[in-house]
Homo-oligomer: A and B are copies of this chain.
Amino acid sequence: MGKKNKQFVEKITAMEDDFAQWYTDVVKQADLVDYGPVRGTMIIKPEGFAIWENIRDELDRQIKATGHSNVSFPLFIPESLLQKEKDHVEGFAPEVAWVTHGGEEELSERLVVRPTSEALFCEYYSKNIHSYRDLPMLYNQWSNVVRWEKTTRPFLRSLEFLWQEGHTAHATYEDAAEETERMLGVYADVVENYLAIPVIHGRKTEKEKFAGAKYTLTIESLMHDGKALQSGTSHHFGSGFAEAFDITYLDENGDQQYVHQTSWGITTRLIGALIMVHGDNRGLVVPPRIAPTQAMIVPIAQHKEGVLDHAYDLRDRLKDIARVNIDPSDKMPGWKFNEYEMKGIPVRIEMGPKDIEKEQVVLVRRDTGEKEFVALNELEERLPILLEEIQQNLYNKALEHRNEMTTVVTDMEEFKQTLDQKAGFIKAMWCGDLACEEKIKEETTATSRCIPFEQEKVADSCVCCEKQAKELVYWAKAY
């Protein structure tokens, strides 16, 4: 490896030395993101946005396949509208951006730049839902939202981010409950099967649920440093918003009823999760199913006659098999190797004069670094299989890591020691009291991540107060 290549690699801090700095280095060096001129805002660059497009396209497909329609609601919410639901406004008002002037005039009512759009959808539903025949109303939108966060990090917590927000209205509590669960399932499918990140399915505690929700379902994942990341949430509102916004319908008997609502969202945070679950000290690792480029052809000794032609032919041959690209630039191959490892491209295809002579190529996996020689005429068969092997391996490695980083604890001493020594998920019993949840957070900085659907009884008493335990909870330090 030449001097230049070394410099390139040295730009990244090792994750063992400083995980936060490693993260910042990767998002910059892999060309995912840059900082916007307003504090806490981000510019998502082509390589980052192409990953988002792939996540979005698959999720959009599943959202439509489950019967939802895309819509576009406005960016601005009048202050009075946000205030209609008490818990909701309390949750969001402290962290919104306020528009006070339009053109050269001061506005008579301040406008909120949407931090989320429940208020707007509810206002619409109250005017447009009349009869049981109008239900369910199943809307989704892809949009930007603004939350005036104090400390920010690209993808993980930013002043503005991209997301989708589903908003649905149903005839009964049970219908809304089914929807809440269905969409959590869709999120879990995309995160596990496309981003290759295993998740814990569960319910948020009362303290951690969404402002205005009856309850919140969540999928939680574990980052490489042992901190958790909430990866998608789905909220059941019961009829709380319907009562605040007067959203009623006439049922089949002609009786007036409140609707029952849900909302659910995932955000560009998922790109942060992807980085922190799969990345390593050589940079980003992108799972093949969402990688904008799945395989990069790097010609070797490309100045020799025929090499570039063969490389281009190969790209054309493979273009219906996988998302294949080629780098014909005059940089040294070693430099290119490093660059595409940094960018996390799943497979490198090397092809030089000797390979051409032997009618073969070299495939190099980003996840393990393993090399294999493949005969040219077997490549159409081998490449898709290899991509799937990488996808599965990334998932398995993440699952193994999560299992290693998950600890059952039964008292507070053990709780603190575990967090100090290796962090990760803590599985511990809880009495259900807010006081214990708050005490745990105060003493350990860990928060309750979720009450998992898959319950186990790992002890009889609450890890904190030692009273009768009610349920198992996953706890962790979290992003």
Interface residues of A (CB under 8 A from B): 34, 36-38, 41-46, 49-50, 52-53, 69-78, 81, 94-104, 111, 113, 120, 123-124, 127-128, 139, 143-144, 146, 148, 150, 159-160, 162
Are A75 and B124 neighbours in the complex by a CB distance under 8 Å? no
Interchain CB contact (< 8 A) of A98 among B36, B74, B101 = B101
Contacts of A34 in B (CB 8 A): 124, 127-128
Please judge, given known A-B contacts A71-B43, A101-B97, whether A78 and B143 are in contact too, CB under 8 Å.
Answer: no
Interchain CB contact (< 8 A) of A72 among B43, B73, B98, B100 = B43
Complex-state Cα separation, A97 to B36, whole angstroms:
19
Closest chain B residue to A162 by CB distance?
B72
* Cβ distance A475 to chain B, nearest Cβ, rounded Å: 29
Contacts of A97 in B (CB 8 A): 76, 99, 101-102, 111
Are A46 and B74 neighbours in the complex by a CB distance under 8 Å? no
Please judge, given known A-B contacts A53-B70, A70-B49, A71-B46, whether A41 and B76 are in contact too, CB under 8 Å.
Answer: yes
Are B70 and A38 neighbours in the complex by a CB distance under 8 Å? no
Complex-state Cα separation, A69 to B78, whole angstroms:
35
Contacts of A111 in B (CB 8 A): 38, 97
* Cβ distance A313 to chain B, nearest Cβ, rounded Å: 21
Contacts of A146 in B (CB 8 A): 75-76
Closest chain B residue to A158 by CB distance?
B74
Are B144 and A38 neighbours in the complex by a CB distance under 8 Å? no
* Cβ distance A81 to chain B, nearest Cβ, rounded Å: 6
Complex-state Cα separation, A74 to B74, whole angstroms:
17
* Cβ distance A247 to chain B, nearest Cβ, rounded Å: 15
Closest chain B residue to A44 by CB distance?
B72
Complex-state Cα separation, A49 to B74, whole angstroms:
13
Contacts of A75 in B (CB 8 A): 41, 75, 113, 144, 146, 160
Are A50 and B74 neighbours in the complex by a CB distance under 8 Å? no
Complex-state Cα separation, A44 to B102, whole angstroms:
22
Contacts of A123 in B (CB 8 A): 37
Closest chain B residue to A42 by CB distance?
B74
Complex-state Cα separation, A399 to B25, whole angstroms:
56
Are B49 and A72 neighbours in the complex by a CB distance under 8 Å? yes
Closest chain B residue to A71 by CB distance?
B49
Contacts of A94 in B (CB 8 A): 103-104
Ranked nearest first, the 5 interchain pairs of A and B with the lowest CB-CB distance are: A46-B69, A41-B74, A36-B74, A98-B101, A103-B148
* Cβ distance A128 to chain B, nearest Cβ, rounded Å: 7
Contacts of A162 in B (CB 8 A): 72
Please judge, given known A-B contacts A99-B97, A113-B113, whether A74 and B104 are in contact too, CB under 8 Å.
Answer: no
Contacts of A70 in B (CB 8 A): 46, 49-50, 53
Closest chain B residue to A72 by CB distance?
B44
Interchain CB contact (< 8 A) of A120 among B36, B104, B143 = B36
Are A37 and B98 neighbours in the complex by a CB distance under 8 Å? no
Q: By CB atoms of chain B within 10 A, which of A45, A50, A77 has the most?
A: A45
* Cβ distance A471 to chain B, nearest Cβ, rounded Å: 35
Are B73 and A36 neighbours in the complex by a CB distance under 8 Å? yes
Closest chain B residue to A77 by CB distance?
B37
Closest chain B residue to A329 by CB distance?
B133
